[in-house]
A and B are shown apart, each in its own frame.
Chain A
Amino acid sequence: MTKGSNSTNGYKVIGTRPIRHDGYDKVTGKALYGADFSISGLLFGKILRSPHAHAKILSIDTSAVENMDGVKAIVTSQDLPQTNWTKEKDAIMAKTKVLYKGHPIAGVAAINHHIAEEALKLINVEYEILPAILTAPEGLDPSSPLIDETKKNNISNHVKHELGNIKKGFEKSDVIVERTFDTATVHQGYIEPHNATVDWNSSVQDEKVNIWVSTQSSFDIRGRTAEILHLDPSKIKTTPMEIGGGFGAKFDPYACPVAALLSKKTGKPVKIVHTRKEEFESTGPTPGSNIKIKIGATKEGKILAAEATLAYEDGAFPGGVVSAGALCAFATYDIENVLINGYDVLVNKPSTSAYRAPGATNSNVGTETVIDEIAEKLEMDPIEFRLINASKEGVRRADGPKHPSIGVIEVLNAMKKHPHYNEPLPEATDINRGVAIGFWMNGAGPSSINLSVHPDGRINLIEGSTDIGGSRASIAMMVAEVLGIKAEDVTPSVVDTDKIGYTSGTGGSSVTYKAGVAGHIAATNLKKSLIERAASIWGVSPKTVSMENGILFSTKDKSLSISLKNLAKDLNDTGGPIISNGATNPSGAAPSISGHIIDVKVDKETGKIDIVKCTIFQDVGKAIHPDYVEGQMQGGTVQGIGWALNEEYFYNNDSYEMANPTFLDYRMPLALDLPMINTEIIEVPNPAHPFGVRGVGEASITSPPAAIANAIYRITGIRVNQLPIKPSLLMESIKK
């Protein structure tokens, strides 16, 4: 059993593993998630969706529903504000054209969801079906239909990054490998479907739209719903409910504006909860892609040139993730000559969303399998080859910035000397080992934290970051560290948008970084105020008062000392309550590097692929709560394994309908499919964070597909060129 790092480096709270504050509610079924919310007078909404991947809407006839028993309201795009029509509005309910199967067209509110569902069947929409495209290469074909007819082609975004001169770099190279990969569209697969309950109080004096929702960003939901409905943001209050997973896909407002319009029409609160089919067909996914990678190196093992051409599905609307995929493509290596072209390509699929290191896994599977192939051709150890070319602080990334502190070398060295890398493989020829590394630059953003003092000396912590995997605990721990108290003596809450300053979303591995900085500021301010209060009670200078381990004391006079608990009891009588806050938009997020060693077994009779043993290494900067850091590493790893082996949006030939929109057929990894996921936490501190934190949630997903593909090559001699690596495809290649 690998427990990973548990170093506290002189810290008292950071690096320990306290029980999370919200744990009790979550193991007893008491925690309230979005779908659990209820309110007096609640109605239930359902959304009518397009059955076609691409079609003109000729007419929408709702007359059969209008007087149906139990139906209370129907809305279409006509109910959205008509001026300044935007793509965002069109994504909420289509006006003239549907762009994917599942595109919303109308909403119905009824006294229960069964009636709302029945009502949908009676809405009559006439379509003129248009030819559709599903993949990025199809979208790039000049003969393909245009998704946005106001544009010349289906490319919604082109990024180009260039360093040096790749032509010269390839000319000087002794070995060049060029490969093309196709990766399937995949879904984030969180277990809790999207949901929203909206109550529109439209009284003239006190108009307020209350939204209770599972979201990664309550402030994004407020802002984007405000834009779509032409409301001032202060007229919307978003309450983030407990969230049942997101992985990047729970930022979009989806049903919120529809539920809002239904609530406005009925004067009652309306709840909409997606079905799993709606989740697959109308939310998420992360793009399928076509990846071309070409890398050249000298016979001594120095990479001289690297070229990537990335074409990512964008879905029906702009906003894809190729930019991040391009940024990450070669970021772990110090390469003089680089050319990266990335294209987001509109296709007739739901608008793509972020998914854990969005875009990076796609490009990584290309880069890290080509790297493996070059190392093999040079007869070099694959980790040694990577070490020769490893990026370090100060190296310029192809997209411009120089790397801040970065732990590529530390991760590679940890992998190289690890028993898993050095232990002999089983004698069976159907098992072998692959390695790969991955990169995510990590995010930051504005964050607000409020602290106050309970009368018993515990500290109340208010924050705006949705807690998706233990961040309440990690933020409380950082505050506790500053104050010298226990983690359990901080009581954290995530509150609505009226109760805390702006806080950007829980995504891009930003929360522990940015909320840590804000929490550090707030806790430092609180400590200062507590010291000043003790000093004023004692009539001494605050400069002579210190606070450690929850005790305030004079550094000059040993008789002067008071516990935080006793000071807190009398705050009201000694000058009034003490509060503090930290509000900041910190720069200085630093990248996290992942590395995987994966032993794979291939059944040569059937092509079935099993993961036999897996170790993830990750530079996390500083692990605040190592259990939840390991959890991020393990969870991302298993999502990467699912992406590599099983998961895809499957379309039958000539059909534009996803054939597998259930968890039975969209097969995510089960407990039975997996071994234990061993973790090795590497801590190269980020100097721009008070405790050295880097984000930890993303990098872990990026490198498993390449590590698995590299292991499969060592077993079968086949260089995999697509994801998922299906047994059927493997068998075709084995037979050849």
Chain B
Amino acid sequence: MSKKIHVKTTINSEEVEFLCEPRQSLLECLRDIVGLTGSKEGCNDGNCGACTVNLDGRIVDSCLVFGVEVDGKEVNTIEGVAYKDELHPIQKAFLENAALQCGICTPGFIVASKALLERNPNPTEKDVRFWLAGNLCRCTGYDKIVRAVLDAAEKMRVN
């Protein structure tokens, strides 16, 4: 066991400090140390996107980032998407469009979709499909997910 390292970071707008081993991924730190289990592990090698988080404005697979790397940075996870008890329009759109079945991939899709709509408020279907190509869903065939993201985009533009 190697010596643990102190990490000071911002998670969902809160300052957070934790100790982790250098080998521990950000995903592992979030889930097992910080206690945020909304980010999921589907593959642990950056291919499924279930652990997608936003790191300093970019979406990353948190299984491919070491916990120690987020020192001084800003991490946003699924737990920070809703504002208090008010769901984000993307979360509402996922519910209203039945864009989830088992739900294990949902946090990753929502975090990724939010980053898309922040960059491109008026994406085409193709834009959505391209952006979400790093997130695997095995239940839905993606149809309702794509519709939910387009629906959320429309509602966010109106508001």
**Which residues of A lie under 8 Å from residue B40 when comparing CB positions?**
33, 35, 191-192, 244
Contact with B along A633-654 (1 / 0, CB 8 A): 0111111000000000000000
Determine whether A26 belongs to the interface, using a CB cutoff of 8 Å to chain B.
yes
Q: What is the CA–CA distance of A185 and B5 in the complex, to the nearest angstrom?
A: 44
Known contacts A29-B79, A114-B21; A470 and B104 CB within 8 A of each other: no
Chain B residue, CB-CB nearest to A700 = B141
**Which residues of B lie under 8 Å from residue A40 when comparing CB positions?**
none
Determine whether B136 belongs to the interface, using a CB cutoff of 8 Å to chain A.
yes
Are B37 and A29 neighbours in the complex by a CB distance under 8 Å?
Answer: yes
Are B38 and A245 neighbours in the complex by a CB distance under 8 Å?
Answer: no
Known contacts A20-B98, A468-B101, A628-B101; A29 and B78 CB within 8 A of each other: yes
Determine whether B158 belongs to the interface, using a CB cutoff of 8 Å to chain A.
no
Determine whether B45 belongs to the interface, using a CB cutoff of 8 Å to chain A.
yes
Chain B residue, CB-CB nearest to A638 = B141
- Please tell me the number of chain B residues within 8 Å of chain A, measured between CB atoms: 58
Determine whether A31 belongs to the interface, using a CB cutoff of 8 Å to chain B.
yes
**Which residues of B lie under 8 Å from residue A69 when comparing CB positions?**
1
Q: What is the CA–CA distance of A189 and B44 in the complex, to the nearest angstrom?
A: 14
Are A662 and B45 neighbours in the complex by a CB distance under 8 Å?
Answer: yes
Q: What is the CA–CA distance of A27 and B92 in the complex, to the nearest angstrom?
A: 8
User: How far does the Cβ of A291 sit from chain B's closest Cβ, in whole Å?
Assistant: 25
**Which residues of A lie under 8 Å from residue B130 when comparing CB positions?**
672
Contact with A along B92-105 (1 / 0, CB 8 A): 00111110111111
Determine whether B43 belongs to the interface, using a CB cutoff of 8 Å to chain A.
yes
**Which residues of A lie under 8 Å from residue B144 when comparing CB positions?**
627, 630-631, 634
User: How far does the Cβ of A335 sit from chain B's closest Cβ, in whole Å?
Assistant: 32
Are B98 and A631 neighbours in the complex by a CB distance under 8 Å?
Answer: yes
Determine whether B157 belongs to the interface, using a CB cutoff of 8 Å to chain A.
no
**Which residues of B lie under 8 Å from residue A33 when comparing CB positions?**
40, 104
**Which residues of A lie under 8 Å from residue B47 when comparing CB positions?**
276, 662-664
Chain A residues 238-263 with CB under 8 Å of chain B are 242-247
Chain B residues 106-159 with CB under 8 Å of chain A are 106-107, 110, 125, 128-130, 132-133, 135-147
Q: What is the CA–CA distance of A671 and B141 in the complex, to the nearest angstrom?
A: 8
**Which residues of A lie under 8 Å from residue B24 when comparing CB positions?**
114
Determine whether A713 belongs to the interface, using a CB cutoff of 8 Å to chain B.
no
**Which residues of A lie under 8 Å from residue B140 when comparing CB positions?**
631, 634-635, 638
Known contacts A192-B104, A244-B104; A27 and B87 CB within 8 A of each other: yes
Chain A residues 25-83 with CB under 8 Å of chain B are 26-33, 35-36, 69-70
**Which residues of A lie under 8 Å from residue B45 when comparing CB positions?**
276, 662-664
Are B41 and A193 neighbours in the complex by a CB distance under 8 Å?
Answer: yes
Are A28 and B42 neighbours in the complex by a CB distance under 8 Å?
Answer: no
Are B101 and A29 neighbours in the complex by a CB distance under 8 Å?
Answer: no
Known contacts A28-B91, A36-B37, A70-B1; A470 and B98 CB within 8 A of each other: yes
User: How far does the Cβ of A67 sit from chain B's closest Cβ, in whole Å?
Assistant: 15
Determine whether A115 belongs to the interface, using a CB cutoff of 8 Å to chain B.
yes
**Which residues of A lie under 8 Å from residue B78 when comparing CB positions?**
28-29
Q: What is the CA–CA distance of A192 and B41 in the complex, to the nearest angstrom?
A: 7
**Which residues of A lie under 8 Å from residue B9 when comparing CB positions?**
none
Determine whether A19 belongs to the interface, using a CB cutoff of 8 Å to chain B.
yes
Are B110 and A27 neighbours in the complex by a CB distance under 8 Å?
Answer: yes
User: How far does the Cβ of B139 sit from chain A's closest Cβ, in whole Å?
Assistant: 5
Known contacts A31-B103, A244-B102, A635-B139; A663 and B146 CB within 8 A of each other: no
Determine whether B82 belongs to the interface, using a CB cutoff of 8 Å to chain A.
yes
**Which residues of B lie under 8 Å from residue A242 when comparing CB positions?**
102-104
Determine whether A125 belongs to the interface, using a CB cutoff of 8 Å to chain B.
no
Determine whether B73 belongs to the interface, using a CB cutoff of 8 Å to chain A.
no
Determine whether A659 belongs to the interface, using a CB cutoff of 8 Å to chain B.
no
Q: What is the CA–CA distance of A571 and B100 in the complex, to the nearest angstrom?
A: 38
Q: What is the CA–CA distance of A636 and B39 in the complex, to the nearest angstrom?
A: 26
Are A190 and B138 neighbours in the complex by a CB distance under 8 Å?
Answer: yes
Determine whether A550 belongs to the interface, using a CB cutoff of 8 Å to chain B.
no
Q: What is the CA–CA distance of A20 and B78 in the complex, to the nearest angstrom?
A: 19
Determine whether B48 belongs to the interface, using a CB cutoff of 8 Å to chain A.
yes
- Contact partner of B106 (CB less than 8 A), chosen from A26, A35, A243, is A26
Determine whether B54 belongs to the interface, using a CB cutoff of 8 Å to chain A.
no
Q: What is the CA–CA distance of A58 and B31 in the complex, to the nearest angstrom?
A: 40
Chain A residue, CB-CB nearest to B145 = A671
Determine whether A676 belongs to the interface, using a CB cutoff of 8 Å to chain B.
yes
User: How far does the Cβ of A690 sit from chain B's closest Cβ, in whole Å?
Assistant: 24
User: How far does the Cβ of A116 sit from chain B's closest Cβ, in whole Å?
Assistant: 12
**Which residues of B lie under 8 Å from residue A189 when comparing CB positions?**
138
**Which residues of A lie under 8 Å from residue B101 when comparing CB positions?**
245, 468-470, 628, 631-632, 635
Determine whether A186 belongs to the interface, using a CB cutoff of 8 Å to chain B.
no
Chain B residues 19-51 with CB under 8 Å of chain A are 21, 23-24, 31, 36-45, 47-48, 50
Known contacts A631-B144, A634-B144, A674-B141; A26 and B37 CB within 8 A of each other: no
Determine whether A670 belongs to the interface, using a CB cutoff of 8 Å to chain B.
yes
Chain B residues 62-80 with CB under 8 Å of chain A are 77-79
Chain B residue, CB-CB nearest to A30 = B38
Q: What is the CA–CA distance of A115 and B110 in the complex, to the nearest angstrom?
A: 33
Q: What is the CA–CA distance of A275 and B47 in the complex, to the nearest angstrom?
A: 13
**Which residues of A lie under 8 Å from residue B77 when comparing CB positions?**
29
Q: What is the CA–CA distance of A636 and B101 in the complex, to the nearest angstrom?
A: 12
User: How far does the Cβ of B43 sit from chain A's closest Cβ, in whole Å?
Assistant: 4
Are B41 and A663 neighbours in the complex by a CB distance under 8 Å?
Answer: no
Determine whether B7 belongs to the interface, using a CB cutoff of 8 Å to chain A.
no
**Which residues of A lie under 8 Å from residue B55 when comparing CB positions?**
none
**Which residues of A lie under 8 Å from residue B137 when comparing CB positions?**
191, 671
Determine whether A538 belongs to the interface, using a CB cutoff of 8 Å to chain B.
no
Known contacts A191-B42, A631-B144, A671-B145; A27 and B48 CB within 8 A of each other: no
User: How far does the Cβ of B114 sit from chain A's closest Cβ, in whole Å?
Assistant: 12
**Which residues of A lie under 8 Å from residue B37 when comparing CB positions?**
29, 32, 35-36
**Which residues of B lie under 8 Å from residue A35 when comparing CB positions?**
31, 37, 40-41
User: How far does the Cβ of A14 sit from chain B's closest Cβ, in whole Å?
Assistant: 16
Are A276 and B98 neighbours in the complex by a CB distance under 8 Å?
Answer: no
Chain A residue, CB-CB nearest to B80 = A29
Are B48 and A191 neighbours in the complex by a CB distance under 8 Å?
Answer: yes
Are B141 and A637 neighbours in the complex by a CB distance under 8 Å?
Answer: yes
**Which residues of A lie under 8 Å from residue B128 when comparing CB positions?**
671
Are A193 and B138 neighbours in the complex by a CB distance under 8 Å?
Answer: no
Known contacts A191-B104, A627-B98, A662-B47; A671 and B146 CB within 8 A of each other: yes
User: How far does the Cβ of B106 sit from chain A's closest Cβ, in whole Å?
Assistant: 5
**Which residues of A lie under 8 Å from residue B97 when comparing CB positions?**
627
Q: What is the CA–CA distance of A26 and B107 in the complex, to the nearest angstrom?
A: 8
Chain A residue, CB-CB nearest to B150 = A1
**Which residues of B lie under 8 Å from residue A120 when comparing CB positions?**
none
User: How far does the Cβ of A424 sit from chain B's closest Cβ, in whole Å?
Assistant: 23
Are B136 and A247 neighbours in the complex by a CB distance under 8 Å?
Answer: no
Determine whether A166 belongs to the interface, using a CB cutoff of 8 Å to chain B.
no
**Which residues of B lie under 8 Å from residue A19 when comparing CB positions?**
95-96
**Which residues of A lie under 8 Å from residue B100 when comparing CB positions?**
23, 26-27
Q: What is the CA–CA distance of A69 and B2 in the complex, to the nearest angstrom?
A: 12
Determine whether A668 belongs to the interface, using a CB cutoff of 8 Å to chain B.
yes
Beyond contacts A244-B40, A631-B140: 16 other A-B pairs, Cβ-Cβ < 8 A, are A28-B78, A31-B103, A33-B104, A114-B23, A192-B104, A245-B101, A247-B138, A276-B44, A276-B47, A631-B144, A634-B141, A664-B47, A670-B132, A671-B128, A671-B132, A677-B141
Q: Can you list 10 contacts pairing A with B, beta carbon distance less than 8 Å? A: A26-B100, A28-B81, A28-B91, A29-B107, A32-B37, A244-B103, A276-B47, A628-B98, A631-B139, A639-B138
